[in-house]
Structure formats: structure tokens, C-alpha cells
Amino acid sequence: MEVNDYIRRTLRIIDQLAPKISPKYLPIVRDAAGAGAWDLAITTLVGAVWEEGVVITTAEKDALRELMEYLQEPLTRLEQIRTSD
């Protein structure tokens, strides 16, 4: 994945999952993305979904997995996130 694709995918998954996470984390995720701190935005998003027990689709989880792998971040929390399908 090239960096521009990574940024597009990051923005897309943030938009998809934003309605599912609480206002506690949403400003952090959006501010990080707005500042170009894509790694912080994605890791915070995964942490929020995990901590809040948000159920996401398999496609959303796969998208997060690709982004986390791109960042070479551990997948421990991501693997614990439940999917709805």
C-alpha cells in the first residue's frame, strides 16, 4: 500500500466508524487525522472500538487490520473486536 492509499483508507474508515464511537474518543481521532497524525488516528480508533465494545462489520475489521499492519502495530486489541456478520 502506498502512502496516499493509506491516507484515503484511513479517512474512509474514520468516517464509517465515527458514528459508532463515543464523544470521548471521536475528537481525538478526528483531530489526529486532521493534523496528519494518521498512526495516532488509527490506533486510537481501534482502541476506542475495543474499549467501548463496539461491534463492527467484518469488512470494517479487515480495513482496520490492513491499516494496522501497514503501521506495523500489534493486532491484539483488533483481534478481540467483535463483528456483526
In the predicted structure, residue 69 carries a pLDDT above the cut 90:
yes
Output the pLDDT for position 59.
96
Confidence at residue 85, expressed as pLDDT on a 0 to 100 scale = 80
CA-CA distance, 10 to 38, in Å (whole number)? 7
pLDDT reported for residue 32: 95
Q: What is the C-alpha to C-alpha distance for residues 74 and 8, in angstroms, rounded to an integer? A: 21
Reduced to 3 states, what is the DSSP secondary structure of residue 56? strand
Q: The C-alpha cell of 27 is what?
A: 475528537
- Using one digit for the tens of pLDDT, what is the confidence trace for 7-61? 999 999 999 999 999 999 999 999 999 999 999 999 999 999 999 999 999 999 9
What pLDDT does 83 receive?
94
Query: What is the spatial distance between Cα 19 and Cα 33, in angstroms, rounded to a whole number?
Result: 16
> How many CB atoms neighbour CB 26 within 10 A?
18
